[in-house]
Amino acid sequence: MNLSELTVHEAQDRLRRGETTSAALTEAVLAQIEALDETVRAFVTVTADEARAQAQAADARRAQEGADAPPLLGIPAAIKDVVNTKGVRTTCSSRMLENYVPPYDATVMEKLNAHGIVLVGKTNMDEFAMGSSTEHSAFFTTRNPWDTERVPGGSSGGSAAAVAADEAVFSLGSDTGGSIRQPAALCGVVGMKPTYGRVSRYGLVAFASSLDQIGPFTKDVTDCAIVLEAICGHDRRDATSAPQPVPNWREEMTQSVKGLRVGVPKEYFGAGIEPEVEASVRAAIEQLAALGVAVEDVSLPHTDHALATYYIIAPAEASANLARYDGIKYGYASQDAETMWEAYSRTRGEGFGSEVKRRILVGTHALSSGYYDAYYLKAQKVRTLIANDFQEAFARVDAIVCPTSATVAFKIGERVDDPMSMYLSDLYTLPCNVAGLPGISQPCGLAQGLPVGLQFLGKPFDESTLLRLAYAYEQASGARYKPALTSGAAQT
């Protein structure tokens, strides 16, 4: 087996036994990037030299700490280019921040660096995390390792594709309306959006502050628990960070799921879901029932309003957050203007892409005088109704199970000129963000030869139940999905 194919826990087992080194593991991952990324285009920036130095330091640290070494020591990781990395370019895949190098690390990076991870690079994304296909990157489109004519999903498409293609052992993304779970489903990996407030947003470049949350992409559920334990925890620098203890999820997820109750929402199996996708998800639900999980139908009646609610709240918050990009303190600045106002207008007109400008305009309109009550205030009221739907369902069940995406990965260019069709890509994921809940997506089969995602949604701060269900299904199904593109890509 190529070392780049290892999971986090498999790699750690070998490292602890002295069967490999972080330096060798890092070289295998860098070789995979060299072999594949000209095709996949997962990375905006590859930090090969820095990675090699970090790997050497990790091996030296392991020699000193031995069995006490942290679980992510020496593991090559990729980070979505929306997370600040001190001294490493952080672009948000936008011309506006094309040359921005942060002077500080995000909290999640401080935590991962304390573990001693190896940063192999920053991954491509939809500009400022606004998109569902990674086609809205200002630089290039990332391609799905399962079929390079198809999208990897978005906005964290680069992070998902990197893990699927073994160009990183794990990665981080951000999820505002499904931007971890949807690309995880389309690329056949595990992706988790923790409860809002579970992971610090300090150092995450803001899109929609009441919706954004950082989470992991991994090759299996065990890795997801390991990475989640490393990045969670209260942070006084983030006013929305919850003072919640971090459980031992890796231990808790192995508990029996017999007797747990899951709800199947009828609203998530309506028009638009591809028959093969529904069949794969239904088969997974049957497998859960065979494990002793009680399955019952539930209703989330305001689901039909979630898309409209999200696309008022998120653009409104984006319009406020992105007002800081004015060409004065940092970022792109137009040089040809004669007046301050012309410079401001040109900077934003030239620095932002079309999708970002579309959402800023929508959000500004929703917040403007005479429209605030009709749009933004009403959306916040409907948001409460959506959260109440979940609360009522969770009075009966422990978790909700449903598809992550109604379709498999679609062709590049198929939806890019149709914003409404693109927005519908997140129909099954964004209610979770609106309600502030945790959600996880994992592979549950193939349709048309492409991965299908199974999604579990849970009560606030009950990631434990989601990981238990996901782990139980993963162990029972026994399948590990890998794209043919990775076979023999880089030999070590």
Q: Does the pLDDT at position 20 exceed 70? A: yes
Q: Does the pLDDT at position 337 exceed 90? A: no
Q: Is 465 helix (H, G, I), strand (E, B) or coil?
A: helix
Active-site entry in 132, 171, 174, 179 = 179
pLDDT at 376: 95
Q: What is the pLDDT of residues 301-313, one digit of tens each?
A: 999 999 999 999 9
The H or E element containing residue 357 is helix 354-367
Is 280 an active-site residue?
no
Q: Does the pLDDT at position 487 exceed 90? A: no
Q: Does the pLDDT at position 391 exceed 70? A: yes
Min mean pLDDT across 34-48, 381-395, 420-434 is at 420-434
Q: What is the pLDDT of residues 159-168, one digit of tens each?
A: 999 999 999 9
Per the domain annotation, does 310 fall within a domain?
no
Residue linked to tokens 């981080």: 172
Mean pLDDT over residues 425-447, rounded? 97
Strands 118-123 and 76-80: parallel
Per the domain annotation, does 32 fall within a domain?
yes
Is the peptide bond between 155 and the residue preceding it cis, with omega within 30 degrees of 0? yes
Query: Using 50, 70 and 90 to split pLDDT, how confident is the model at 489?
Result: low
Q: What is the pTM assigned to this prediction?
A: 0.97
List the domain range (segments joined by +) for residue 184: 3-259+477-486
Per the domain annotation, does 366 fall within a domain?
no
Per the domain annotation, does 235 fall within a domain?
yes
Q: Tokens at residue 414, please?
A: 């198929």
CA distance 444 to 440: 12
Mean pLDDT over residues 288-292, rounded? 98
Per the domain annotation, does 408 fall within a domain?
no
Q: Does the pLDDT at position 384 exceed 70? A: yes
Q: Is 479 helix (H, G, I), strand (E, B) or coil?
A: coil
Per the domain annotation, does 356 fall within a domain?
no
Active-site entry in 80, 111, 122, 459 = 80
Q: What is the pLDDT of residues 393-430, one digit of tens each?
A: 999 999 999 999 999 999 999 998 888 889 888 999 99
In our burial notation (b when 16+ CB lie closer than 10 A, e otherwise), range 266-283 reads ebbbeeebbebbbebbee
Q: Does the pLDDT at position 488 exceed 60? A: no
**Structural domain count, the chain:** 1
Q: What is the pLDDT of residues 459-485, one digit of tens each?
A: 999 999 999 999 999 999 987 789 988
The H or E element containing residue 46 is strand 43-46
Q: Does the pLDDT at position 42 exceed 80? A: yes
Min mean pLDDT across 44-53, 146-155, 268-277 is at 268-277
Mean pLDDT over residues 36-56, rounded? 98
| Domain CATH for 177 | 3.90.1300.10
Mean pLDDT over residues 72-88, rounded? 98
Q: What angle do CA 118, 123, 127 make, to 5 degrees?
A: 150
Mean pLDDT over residues 181-191, rounded? 98
Mean pLDDT over residues 27-43, rounded? 98
Give the length of the chain.
492
Q: What is the pLDDT of residues 223-282, one digit of tens each?
A: 999 999 999 999 999 999 999 999 999 999 999 999 999 999 999 998 899 999 999 999
pLDDT at 485: 85
Tell me the DSSP string of 116-170.
T-EEEEEE--SGGG--SSSTT-SS----BTTBTTB---SSSHHHHHHHHTTS-SE
Active-site entry in 4, 132, 155, 200 = 155
pLDDT at 211: 98
pLDDT at 448: 95
Mean pLDDT of the chain: 96
pLDDT at 479: 73
Is 345 an active-site residue?
no
Q: Which residues contact 44 (CB under 8 A, 6 or more apart)?
A: 81, 89, 91, 93, 121, 122, 123, 124, 137, 139, 158
Mean pLDDT over residues 314-329, rounded? 95
Per the domain annotation, does 405 fall within a domain?
no
Look up residue 211 and give its DSSP letter: T
Is 137 an active-site residue?
no
Q: Does the pLDDT at position 492 exceed 70? A: no
Per the domain annotation, does 20 fall within a domain?
yes
